[in-house]
Structure 1
Amino acid sequence: MNKETRLEMLTRLRDENPEPTTELNFSSPFELLIAVLLSAQATDVGVNKATDKLYPVANTPQAILDLGLEGLKSYIKTIGLFNTKAENTIKTCQMLVDLHGGEVPENRAALEALPGVGRKTANVVLNTAFGWLKDNEGKYFLAVDTHIYRLANRTKYAPGKTVDQVEANIIKLTPRKTEFMFNLHHWFILHGRYVCTAKKPKCGSCIIEDLCDFKDKVSD
């Protein structure tokens, strides 16, 4: 795939959805952080069902600590791996209270030091909650989930054998236009979730089918 094709692909995705965003419900950086932490191996719909009940009761680190571990579990028990996620959430809330005054730090290293928070979660928070395009060292970054990894490899937009390779290749190959660098994450997730699905991609109704290098295209 050449740079002209990549540019056309992003242009079409932009024209279809000029202002994409996460489908996780949140109204603060903390709510987003917890939602992303809970979303590992779970759907956004499932996470939203849980947090829509949790956040009206507890949407700050101290409020969740006041619920206690078992109290928190009662709200998120419908989410996969809820026991581990509840423990990490409690530990994360304690660190936010003890080290950051109850606020989510706008800093990669501090975010990645929180239990259950890795590079992908930190990237999502920095990008979506704080509007970052570049990290503390001035380098572009991108949160790569399973949808983005699949789409980058399947279309041949930026293939890579690991998540880190895909992130690096997307950054290297994406046109340096703010709207593309900022929104590609959401475009690819949404396209992978609803069109370029894992088991049976909807190639016949895909707006970038003619640009995609996937060899095993299928009709709807």
Structure 2
Amino acid sequence: MAAETGEIGPGRGLEGRESSFNTLSEMFSTHYLTVLTHPLRISSAICSCGSFLILFTSLTTSYWVTERSPHGLVHWGLWETCLRPSCFFFFFSSLAEYLHVTRAFLIMAVLCGLTSLFFICISFERVSVGPVYFMVAAGLLSCSTGFFTLIAISVFTVVNRSTEGYMRHILIFGSSYGLCWASIPIYVFTGAIIMITHRTSLD
């Protein structure tokens, strides 16, 4: 009896250790290796982060327009005008109406882009809350960001192209303006990747 008990005891111990190891490995693969098993989700996060950085850089920098003046080269954006080495912030009350519109739509675009990135990050842990799928919400917000940015840049472009300075080639659009345009197709592309990621996760 003792021999039988001795033979059975270690066997049960090994089985217990094996089952515990299998359980731990399943937990690890399920909760900690999710990122590695979802390359599309990683790509969505990277594209969303890059798009947001491009748009935010465009909003905050002062190279929307470069203009030659008798005092030198002037460059300005949505918040300030600069004549090297000095920069002066725009007063809110004296700001042109089209700049108010451009600012408002770009701020909404930035908020949508940031929320989209936030939802993508949450989706690594949870797919949905009730009927709301995080990746679907992120995709819609990404497309909304591109739409708001398109409205803002269109208003800015139409107004400045009708000025005398632009007609005489004294005024030219700068790098911040170009970044704003570049963010639109990137956000649309990001939204497409996000929706593909969502469809793939359902299959």
Structure 1 and Structure 2 fold alike (TM over 0.5): no
Structure with the largest fraction of strand:
2
> Whose helix proportion is higher, 1 or 2?
2
Q: Mark the structure with the bigger radius of gyration.
A: 2
Greater relative contact order (Cα < 8 A, sep 6+): 2
TM-score, scaled to structure 2: 0.22
